[in-house]
């Protein structure tokens, strides 16, 4: 009885294919007091069947991952395959710092423009004939039975009365294409789908649509409205109510949402790729030849699916026997999944697994391949597999188009989404594009309609790339447009508005000359132990010019590691202090705050007498309460001219008397949101202080109610144009050269086996004997049982001290107390310790010019950009420095070797992105605090961003309030509603 009730409950819940639920069930199954193993197995089978649970793989995989975390570490490391990514996405530019000037009027036109010469443009299909209509099997899978209409569907159809039922029955015919389907649909009554459409739309839909022979012309004229993209998905032809609900439950409420569900990659159904290298990322289409679940031992089992793929034979490498007359040969991909645990070795379970893959199914497989001992056989351990269509259908893609592979969402299967999206694309109105024609023409962009067709049903890879470019352009364009529009809204007169746009169009190059600097700034400059580089000097000039203005500066100072940003910011602070105001300098770590504080004190000490001498304070989370109270009082009273600290500077109780500049170091660590908070916090606190001062008849500044200037500093080597996206409302200053005399750091990558370590230790000893100082960087502090292969800083202290007797070793990591960290760094800086074992806490800003060597343990655990930052800790003095990257596996060496070749932060940032593999270039969201760009990869799409910025300026130059572009304004308010509300 209990058993029957339980099954009943499950069947009620069978639609919920969620891990949690399945996990619970499995637990229950285990706990259940079923007498014999075979009963238990039967029970398991029933549970699975009833649930139609399709997440067993993931469930088991996650369990496997937990149990064996790190068992195959080397698999997680991608190999460098820029050429493949580059081939797939020609618009990706991999190179040095782009020569694009931010506010230059001479906008760089990308290479795409050439691609889009008049003729090639003509070639783009205005529709996507050739794309298949809905697969009847999938219809049945999703609620439309192949013989009869689904009940809910038929009820609506009967209700509406005048539907041509041939629409659905016709769609059952195999190998029919949408053009034909749509012709068949001529008599289709659009009012059927108007239920959920807005009233206005309803009126527009009321008349019958006469559909011409082109698929695009099936869209009623009345639908060609601005709001089309935001209409309900119920306007998609042939969508049942059930499907509609399914989609809406997963967040696809509007056509826009659906159309913006982009393919994560495309499969080349012809497998045109020649030659397969070991370790290569492969996307291939083939037929399932076998699927078997194997119980290897009491607690270990695996699933092996063999897929046979016809590929173009590389005749140069093979004998005549391998390659048939058509130049094709078959390769065999063995997809393997391993399971540990007794519950995964039962026969019913293995049968369920193996039956999930039907023999003969045509599938698209992607993942990294490894050659097996038998020729033309490859193994794939981490893979994705998508069933394309059933094996009988030989006309998958008659024209050899790239086949879109969609990510699933909220339980909706990729194939289902592909079909629905195909219908949505067909229903898409021609004139959905709110961008003015002049803009699309000038910037060589696809029409929005064609871009959606191109991304979802591309004719070839180039079309997909062009489509992607247009969609990325839009993301950037509306962001820029919104920001500039908002700024213009805040200005009263036409002149001010023109002035603002001008400022963004052409930078004032003639920076203020040094004579106008205040004497404090000049004195500090004079006392520096070096001369500023020319780009440091022009950076200071540019900033000081802004500081003299009665409008708050919002500027980003950007430059590669070790280029000398700090001193530029110090000079800016002196300028403000010299004029009788205060400065705040916020950094992300206490270590850095202390370093900057001591650095500035040293510089001021060396400076010739200046009256009054600026008073500098350090305020961090570790500042004793009593002392911090005194500092806060000093700041409020104006007795302290400058405070350096961590984010405690933005805490409620810190108030300034006359704050004029806020320097925010390492912008990326704080994020855009914190920047905003800091900005307003400073504004309000300084404002409230001034109000208080005014009411108490105290001394007040003439321009007292101005918000402070903000100078953000970033060492992250982001392209100039990327900076624009992140800091669209900011001006940008770049330091492009390094201080003279810097010798590039020699980098070498070594495998971290015993021989590799010996080699590294030998180099260390040479360095120490010749007076050098060495950082040893570790991925973790303590040794962990789960990841025994990782070297740990604390654990290694003794080993290294033993090995390098006579040279003191220090330890530095994030779990140490603040004063212990300061002390460790001080001892290393002074030379008391010659070896510093550290975690990545030193990554940001730590400056020890005499450190001359860095050895990074388990270097594959770090990203390329991160290693570049770490490496920037050495090579800051006159001594030639070395950086040794010890990799755990040979396969990760390839990736790291890019650091041997280049020390250009821009190049490495781009390479880092491409190294993550071509598979996730599409459809991956930016993480963290960046604005979300569904398909743009900021670092590589910088050129598009620059054009979007210029286009936004152009549009607003033509019409400040966008009145001339109502469609654009409507689109902007859809995308950024807060922007138009003045938020």
Question: Residue 89 and residue 910: Cα distance in Å, rounded?
Answer: 14
Contact indicator for 430, 245 with CB cutoff of 8 Å: no
- Residue 846 burial (10 A CB sphere; 0-12, 13-18, 19+): buried
Q: Identify which of residues 569 and 776 has a Cβ nearer to ligand ATP in the complex.
A: 569
Question: Residue 175 and residue 132: Cα distance in Å, rounded?
Answer: 7
847 binds ligand ATP (CB under 6 A): yes
Separate counts of helices (H) and strands (E) for the chain: 36, 22
By C-alpha distance, which of 816, 799, 814, 794 is closest to 764? 799
| Residue where the block lists tokens 């803009």 | 439
The token pair at 76 is 């997680």
By C-alpha distance, which of 851, 556, 564, 856 is closest to 721? 556
739 binds ligand ATP (CB under 6 A): yes
533 binds ligand ATP (CB under 6 A): yes
Contact indicator for 911, 898 with CB cutoff of 8 Å: yes
Binding mask 601-640 for ligand ATP (x = CB under 6 A): ----------------------------------------
Contact indicator for 363, 385 with CB cutoff of 8 Å: yes
Q: Identify which of residues 259 and 726 has a Cβ nearer to ligand ATP in the complex.
A: 726
Question: Residue 270 and residue 402: Cα distance in Å, rounded?
Answer: 9
Pairing of strands 402-405, 642-645: unpaired
Question: Residue 139 and residue 237: Cα distance in Å, rounded?
Answer: 13
The token pair at 600 is 């500035």
Q: Quote the least distance from Cβ 671 to ligand ATP, whole Å.
A: 18
DSSP reduced 3-state for 167 = helix
Dihedral, CA atoms, 165, 167, 168, 169, nearest 10 degrees? Answer: 80
Binding positions for ligand ATP, 304-363, rule CB under 6 A: none
If you ran DSSP here, which 8-state letter would residue 323 be given? S
Binding mask 945-974 for ligand ATP (x = CB under 6 A): ------------------------------
Q: Quote the least distance from Cβ 727 to ligand ATP, whole Å.
A: 17
Instruction: Tell me which of 131, 194, 271, 566 binds ligand ATP, using CB under 6 A.
Output: 566
Which stretch, 102-110, 148-156, 556-564, 938-946, contacts ligand ATP (CB under 6 A)? Answer: 556-564
| Residue where the block lists tokens 């993942």 | 367
Q: Identify which of residues 602 and 627 has a Cβ nearer to ligand ATP in the complex.
A: 602
Question: Residue 394 and residue 890: Cα distance in Å, rounded?
Answer: 42
Q: Identify which of residues 567 and 945 has a Cβ nearer to ligand ATP in the complex.
A: 567
Q: Identify which of residues 192 and 525 has a Cβ nearer to ligand ATP in the complex.
A: 525
Instruction: Tell me which of 357, 565, 660, 969 binds ligand ATP, using CB under 6 A.
Output: 565
Q: Please give the radius of gyration of the chain, using alpha carbons only, rounded to the nearest integer.
A: 32
Instruction: Tell me which of 429, 466, 471, 561 binds ligand ATP, using CB under 6 A.
Output: 561
Q: Identify which of residues 444 and 559 has a Cβ nearer to ligand ATP in the complex.
A: 559
DSSP string of 628-690? HHHHHHHHHHT---EEEESGGGGSTT---SSEEEEEESSHHHHHHHHHHHHHHHHHHHHHHHH
Which letter, b or e, does each residue of 498-537 get, where b requires 16 or more Cβ atoms within 10 Å of its Cβ? eebbeebeebeeebbeeeebbebbbbbbeeeeeebbebbb
The token pair at 534 is 């020319």
Percent helix, percent strand, percent coil in the chain, to nearest 5? 45, 15, 40
Q: Identify which of residues 389 and 871 has a Cβ nearer to ligand ATP in the complex.
A: 871
Q: Quote the least distance from Cβ 865 to ligand ATP, whole Å.
A: 13
Q: Quote the least distance from Cβ 717 to ligand ATP, whole Å.
A: 10
843 binds ligand ATP (CB under 6 A): no
Q: Quote the least distance from Cβ 565 to ligand ATP, whole Å.
A: 4
Residues in the interface with ligand ATP (CB under 6 A) total 19
Binding mask 854-873 for ligand ATP (x = CB under 6 A): ------------------x-
Q: Identify which of residues 114 and 531 has a Cβ nearer to ligand ATP in the complex.
A: 531
Q: Identify which of residues 329 and 773 has a Cβ nearer to ligand ATP in the complex.
A: 773
Which stretch, 547-555, 650-658, 841-849, 933-941, contacts ligand ATP (CB under 6 A)? Answer: 841-849
Most distant CA atoms of the chain, gap in Å: 98
Q: Identify which of residues 426 and 733 has a Cβ nearer to ligand ATP in the complex.
A: 733
Which stretch, 143-151, 186-194, 198-206, 555-563, contacts ligand ATP (CB under 6 A)? Answer: 555-563
Dihedral, CA atoms, 508, 514, 516, 519, nearest 10 degrees? Answer: 140
- How far does Cα 613 stand from its chain's mean position? 46
Q: Quote the least distance from Cβ 561 to ligand ATP, whole Å.
A: 4
Q: Identify which of residues 844 and 962 has a Cβ nearer to ligand ATP in the complex.
A: 844
Q: Identify which of residues 220 and 564 has a Cβ nearer to ligand ATP in the complex.
A: 564
Q: Quote the least distance from Cβ 570 to ligand ATP, whole Å.
A: 9
Contact indicator for 300, 258 with CB cutoff of 8 Å: no
Q: Identify which of residues 73 and 591 has a Cβ nearer to ligand ATP in the complex.
A: 591
Binding positions for ligand ATP, 68-87, rule CB under 6 A: none
Q: Identify which of residues 402 and 564 has a Cβ nearer to ligand ATP in the complex.
A: 564
Q: Identify which of residues 402 and 559 has a Cβ nearer to ligand ATP in the complex.
A: 559
717 binds ligand ATP (CB under 6 A): no
Question: Residue 285 and residue 363: Cα distance in Å, rounded?
Answer: 6
Question: Residue 289 and residue 301: Cα distance in Å, rounded?
Answer: 20
Pairing of strands 377-380, 370-371: antiparallel
Instruction: Tell me which of 414, 444, 552, 559 binds ligand ATP, using CB under 6 A.
Output: 559
919 binds ligand ATP (CB under 6 A): no
Binding positions for ligand ATP, 473-532, rule CB under 6 A: 530, 532
Question: Residue 734 and residue 558: Cα distance in Å, rounded?
Answer: 5
Rounded alpha-carbon distances, angstroms, from residue 864 to 673, 754, 900: 26, 24, 11
Instruction: Tell me which of 288, 525, 664, 715 binds ligand ATP, using CB under 6 A.
Output: 715
Binding mask 671-710 for ligand ATP (x = CB under 6 A): ----------------------------------------
Other C-beta atoms lying within 10 Å of the C-beta of residue 564: 18
Instruction: Tell me which of 357, 418, 876, 882 binds ligand ATP, using CB under 6 A.
Output: 876
Phi and psi (nearest 5°) for 94? -110, 115
Q: Identify which of residues 276 and 567 has a Cβ nearer to ligand ATP in the complex.
A: 567
845 binds ligand ATP (CB under 6 A): yes
Other C-beta atoms lying within 10 Å of the C-beta of residue 456: 24
Instruction: Tell me which of 225, 254, 536, 852 binds ligand ATP, using CB under 6 A.
Output: 536
Instruction: Tell me which of 192, 425, 563, 944 binds ligand ATP, using CB under 6 A.
Output: 563
List Cβ neighbours of 750 (8 Å cut-off, separation of 6 or more): 756, 759, 760, 884, 885, 886, 887
Instruction: Tell me which of 90, 634, 671, 849 binds ligand ATP, using CB under 6 A.
Output: 849
Q: Identify which of residues 475 and 665 has a Cβ nearer to ligand ATP in the complex.
A: 665
Q: Identify which of residues 434 and 845 has a Cβ nearer to ligand ATP in the complex.
A: 845
List Cβ neighbours of 112 (8 Å cut-off, separation of 6 or more): 91, 444, 466, 469
Which stretch, 164-172, 400-408, 519-527, 561-569, contacts ligand ATP (CB under 6 A)? Answer: 561-569
Return the residue nearest ligand ATP (CB atom): 564
Instruction: Tell me which of 348, 402, 562, 810 binds ligand ATP, using CB under 6 A.
Output: 562
For ligand ATP, the binding residues (CB under 6 A) are 530, 532-533, 536, 559, 561-567, 715, 739, 845, 847, 849, 872, 876
């Amino acid at each position: 009885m209990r058993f029957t009730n339980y099954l009943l409950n499950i069947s009620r819940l069978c639609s919920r294919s969620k891990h949690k639920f399945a996990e619970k069930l499995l637990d229950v199954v285990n706990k259940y007091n079923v007498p014999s193993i075979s009963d238990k197995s039967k029970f398991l089978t029933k549970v699975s069947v009833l649930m139609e649970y399709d997440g067993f793989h993931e469930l088991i995989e996650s369990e496997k991952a937990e149990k064996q975390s790190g068992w195959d570490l080397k698999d997680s490391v991608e190999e460098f395959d820029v050429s493949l990514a580059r081939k797939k996405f020609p618009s990706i530019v991999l190179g040095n710092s782009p020569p694009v000037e931010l506010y230059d009027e001479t906008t760089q036109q990308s290479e795409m423009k050439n691609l889009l010469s008049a003729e090639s443009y003509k070639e783009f299909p205005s529709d996507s004939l050739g794309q298949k209509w809905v697969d009847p099997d999938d219809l049945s899978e999703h609620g439309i039975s192949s013989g009869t209409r689904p009940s809910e569907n038929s009820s609506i159809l009967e209700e509406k009365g005048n539907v041509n039922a041939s629409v659905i029955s016709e769609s059952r015919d195999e190998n029919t294409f949408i053009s034909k389907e749509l012709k068949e649909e001529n008599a289709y009554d659009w009012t059927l789908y108007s239920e959920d459409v807005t009233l206005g739309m309803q009126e527009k839909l009321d008349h019958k649509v006469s559909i011409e022979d082109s698929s695009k012309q099936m869209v009623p004229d009345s639908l060609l409205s601005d709001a089309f993209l935001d209409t309900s998905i119920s306007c998609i032809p042939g969508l049942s109510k059930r499907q509609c609900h399914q989609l809406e439950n997963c967040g696809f409420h509007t056509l826009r949402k659906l159309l913006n569900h982009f393919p994560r990659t495309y499969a080349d159904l012809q497998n045109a790729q020649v030659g397969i290298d070991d370790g290569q990322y492969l996307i291939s289409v083939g037929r399932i030849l076998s699927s078997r679940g194997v119980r290897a031992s009491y607690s270990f089992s695996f699933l092996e699916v063999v897929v046979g793929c016809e590929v173009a034979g590389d005749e140069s490498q093979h004998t005549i026997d391998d390659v048939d007359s058509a130049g094709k040969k078959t390769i065999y991909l063995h997809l393997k999944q391993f399971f540990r645990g007794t519950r995964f070795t039962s026969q019913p379970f293995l049968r369920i697994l193996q039956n999930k893959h039907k023999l003969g199914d045509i599938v698209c497989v992607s993942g990294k391949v490894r050659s097996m001992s038998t020729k033309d056989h490859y193994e794939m351990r981490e893979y994705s597999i998508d069933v394309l269509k059933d094996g009988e259908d030989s006309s998958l893609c008659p024209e050899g188009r790239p086949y879109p592979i969609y990510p699933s969402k909220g339980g909706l299967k990729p194939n289902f989404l592909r079909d629905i999206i195909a219908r949505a694309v067909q229903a898409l109105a021609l004139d959905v594009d709110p961008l003015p024609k002049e803009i699309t023409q000038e910037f060589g962009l696809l029409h929005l309609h064609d871009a959606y067709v191109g991304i979802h049903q591309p004719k070839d890879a180039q079309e997909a790339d062009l489509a992607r470019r247009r969609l990325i352009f839009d993301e950037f364009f509306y962001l820029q447009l919104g920001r500039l529009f908002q700024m213009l809204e805040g200005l009263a007169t036409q002149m001010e508005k023109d002035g603002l746009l001008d400022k963004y169009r052409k930078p004032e190059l003639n920076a203020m000359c040094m004579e106008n600097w205040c004497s404090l700034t000049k004195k500090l400059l004079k006392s520096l132990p070096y001369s500023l580089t020319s780009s440091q000097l022009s950076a200071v000039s540019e900033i000081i010019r802004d500081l003299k203005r009665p409008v708050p500066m919002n500027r980003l100072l950007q430059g590669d590691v070790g280029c000398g940003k700090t001193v530029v910011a110090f000079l800016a602070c002196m300028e403000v202090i010299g004029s009788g105001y205060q400065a705040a300098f916020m950094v992300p770590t206490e270590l850095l705050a202390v370093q900057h504080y001591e650095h500035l004190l040293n510089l001021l000490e060396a400076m010739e007498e200046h009256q009054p001498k600026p008073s500098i304070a350090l305020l961090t989370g570790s500042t004793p309460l009593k002392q911090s109270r005194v500092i806060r009082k000093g700041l409020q009273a104006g007795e302290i001219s400058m405070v350096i600290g961590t984010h405690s500077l933005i805490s409620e109780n810190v108030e300034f008397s006359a704050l004029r500049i806020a320097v925010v170091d390492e912008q990326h660590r704080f994020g855009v949101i914190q920047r905003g908070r800091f900005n307003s916090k400073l504004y309000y606190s300084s404002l409230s202080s001034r109000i208080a001062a005014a009411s108490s008849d105290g001394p007040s500044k003439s321009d007292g109610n101005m918000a402070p200037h903000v100078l953000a500093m970033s060492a992250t080597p982001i392209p100039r144009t990327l900076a624009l996206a992140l800091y669209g409302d900011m001006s940008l200053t770049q330091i492009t050269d390094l201080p003279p005399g810097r010798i590039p750091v020699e980098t070498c990558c070594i495998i971290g086996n015993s021989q590799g370590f010996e080699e590294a230790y030998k180099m260390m000893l040479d360095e120490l004997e010749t007076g050098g100082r060495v950082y040893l960087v570790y991925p973790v502090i303590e040794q962990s049982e789960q990841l025994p292969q990782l070297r740990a800083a604390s654990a290694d202290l003794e080993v290294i001290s033993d090995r390098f007797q006579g040279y003191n070793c220090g330890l530095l990591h994030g779990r140490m107390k603040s004063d212990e960290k300061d002390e460790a760094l001080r001892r290393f800086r002074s030379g008391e310790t010659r070896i510093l074992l550290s975690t990545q806490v030193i990554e940001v800003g730590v400056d020890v010019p005499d450190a001359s060597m860095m050895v990074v343990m388990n270097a594959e655990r770090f990203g390329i950009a991160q290693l570049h930052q770490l490496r920037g800790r050495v090579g800051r003095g006159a001594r030639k420095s070395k950086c040794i990257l010890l990799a755990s596996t040979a396969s990760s060496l390839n990736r790291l070797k890019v650091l041997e070749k280049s020390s250009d932060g821009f190049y490495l940032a781009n390479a880092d992105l491409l190294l993550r593999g071509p598979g996730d270039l599409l459809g991956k969201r930016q993480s963290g605090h960046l604005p979300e760009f569904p398909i743009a990869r900021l670092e590589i799409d910088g050129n598009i961003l620059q054009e979007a910025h210029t286009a936004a300026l152009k549009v607003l130059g033509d019409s400040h309030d966008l009145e001339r572009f109502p469609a654009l304004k409507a689109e902007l308010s859809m995308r950024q509603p807060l922007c138009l509300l003045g938020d």
